[in-house]
Amino acid sequence: MNISIIGYGKMGQLIEQCARERDLGVKSIIDPFHPQATHKEFTEDAMKGVDTCICFTQPDVAFSNIENICKYKKHGVIGTTGWTGQMKEVEKIVKSSGTGLVYSSNFSIGVNIFFKLIEQASKVFNAFDVYDILGYEAHHNRKMDSPSGTATTIANIILENIDRKKTIFEDRLNRKIEPEELHFASMRGGSIPGTHTVLFDSEFDTIELKHTARNRLGFATGAVIASEWIAGKKGLFTESDMMKQLLG
């Protein structure tokens, strides 16, 4: 199988490393700024012989990258966040192209196992209203967005499974939090690759679920595995769809 890497920052370079270790061919690297990229933009030449495009770029170009991936009828793995407000348009584009696209706020296999643990834990704690729920995340000082896409995914999983929580509050609180609000806070600083913590807290104890990334290699490996998984599929999928199939 052959891939094209869209965006050649730190993640793109790790994806190249992982792809070669798994014997995938890297046919092209598209990046308008990096001197080692093979192409500055999508072209017929850049897409020649490519099966799947793996995209980790800035949010403002994510939608146009998806359009180009589908234009050339390639499968796509999208790790860029910030475009899901255009989900209906993306669904139409993917369907009309006859290809497959899988997206996630976090392709780390460990994080996606973490999502499953939070889902199961939330279903248990839903029956015990003596527990309140809250969360927080920490990332390096170069991260552009807040909260992280992973934090938003976690918060939505909790909302889907805890009846007493109705809304997510992500900003600074200068008042008493309402019982139906789920507070998920963000911190930025240092070189932290990514830490996400969920607390189930009562008067008598705290149960904590936590995922700590050591480096970005887990994200890159998950994205490369996703590029193998999407081969031959049609339609729009999430990392959750992939995990359901892989876990049986």
Residues 6+ apart with CB under 8 A from 77: 52, 53, 54, 55, 101, 102, 103, 107, 223, 226, 227, 230
* Residue 48 a catalytic site member: no
Among residues 139, 165, 183, 196, the one annotated as catalytic is: 139
For the chain, give the longest Cα–Cα distance. Answer: 63
Among residues 34, 39, 95, 143, the one annotated as catalytic is: 143
Asked if the bond preceding 35 is cis, omega within 30° of 0, the reply is: no
CB 14 within 8 A of CB 25: no
Q: Which amino acid is at 96?
A: S
Burial code (b: 16+ CB inside 10 Å, e: under 16) for 40-53 equals: eebeeebbeebbbb
Alpha carbon of residue 223 to chain centroid? 9
CA separation for the pair 21, 115 (Å, rounded): 27
* Residue 143 a catalytic site member: yes
Q: Which residues are catalytic?
A: 139, 143
